[in-house]
Amino acid sequence: MEIKKIFVAGAGLMGGGIAQVCAQSGYVVVLRDLDKSILDKGLAAISWSVGKMVEKGRVKGTADEIMQRIRPTTDLQKAGDADFVFEAIIENLGAKQSLFAELDTICPDHTIFGTNSSAIPVTEIATATLRVDRFVGTHFFSPVPLMKAVEVVKGYATSQAAVDAAENLCKSLGKETIRVNRDVAGIVLNRLNFPATIEAIKLVEAGVSTVDDIDKGMRLGFGRPMGPFETADMAGLDVGYNAMLAVYEETRDPKFYPPMLLQRKVKLGHLGRKTGVGWYCYDDKGNKLGPAG
């Protein structure tokens, strides 16, 4: 199947990143969110990122040429001629099902739906539609323009043709794909990463070490570009919390249960860079100031 028209639902960190790599790869992409202010903020972030990529010679064309391929909208009906839909909204089953149920009535029969869900099983989301055979997981990693991996997840009813089309599309965006042949909560990489992140939080809770020392140790000792707390702040503590909880609710394995310290931070609204405080504090430009108290 040839994919020409792409629709991205969600103009936040992940959705904006997906729209950016689509535009950088030559696709015209419609980027939709509920509110114009969210769209404007997302477009500003994309424009800054595209400018940096052009400046460093990592993409072809000018920043203006790339940005002109992104068509912002608040109208879901603009998905009416899409060949592929990337969804990147809040990690909440009800919200995702509601969106896809509506898209199912708008999009042509051939349209393939891809969810960026990091923890909710693809099949559960797909049941809100009448196209479970054309519903696939496309889990990107943040920041999308820099991270090469995409997990392509086959739901229990997903056709091989849909998996192949999603994989080929992601490769055309310059990504390396990881095929996931069984639909489980947390997919593959988060199933590996969550226990380590949870243990890091527990070590801080117990006073064994500090947030910044653990991050430094993971960078220097294991060659990671960012430590678990820096990564969590970038993605959003609420995103990580909801994803851990989704895996725990399916598996009932206590190693995935969100630690109390994380729960408290989420309830306080200390969600990371987007709120100015998470595991670290940030200035109004998103620059890290130091560990949060």
Short-list 86, 138, 131, 141, CA closest to 104: 131
Q: Is residue 190 annotated as part of the catalytic site, yes or no?
A: yes
Short-list 111, 67, 234, 154, CA closest to 103: 111
Element (H, E) at 7: strand 5-9
- Measured CA to CA, the distance from residue 54 to residue 52 in angstroms comes to 5
Q: Is residue 139 annotated as part of the catalytic site, yes or no?
A: yes
- Tell me phi and psi for residue 154, to 5 degrees: -90, 115
59's tokens: 């993409």
CA atoms within 13 A on the CB side of 237: 28
Short-list 231, 233, 230, CA closest to 275: 233
- Label the pairing between strands 135-140 and 149-154: antiparallel
230's tokens: 């820096």
Element (H, E) at 114: strand 112-115
Question: From the candidates 139, 167, 230, 242, which is the catalytic residue?
Answer: 139
Question: From the candidates 87, 151, 167, 230, which is the catalytic residue?
Answer: 151
**4, 25, 134, 140, 175 from 171: Cα distances, Å:** 14, 10, 18, 12, 5
CA atoms within 13 A on the CB side of 157: 13
Question: From the candidates 49, 116, 117, 118, which is the catalytic residue?
Answer: 118
At 160, the amino acid letter reads Q
Question: From the candidates 116, 190, 242, 270, which is the catalytic residue?
Answer: 190
Q: Which residues are catalytic?
A: 118, 139, 151, 190
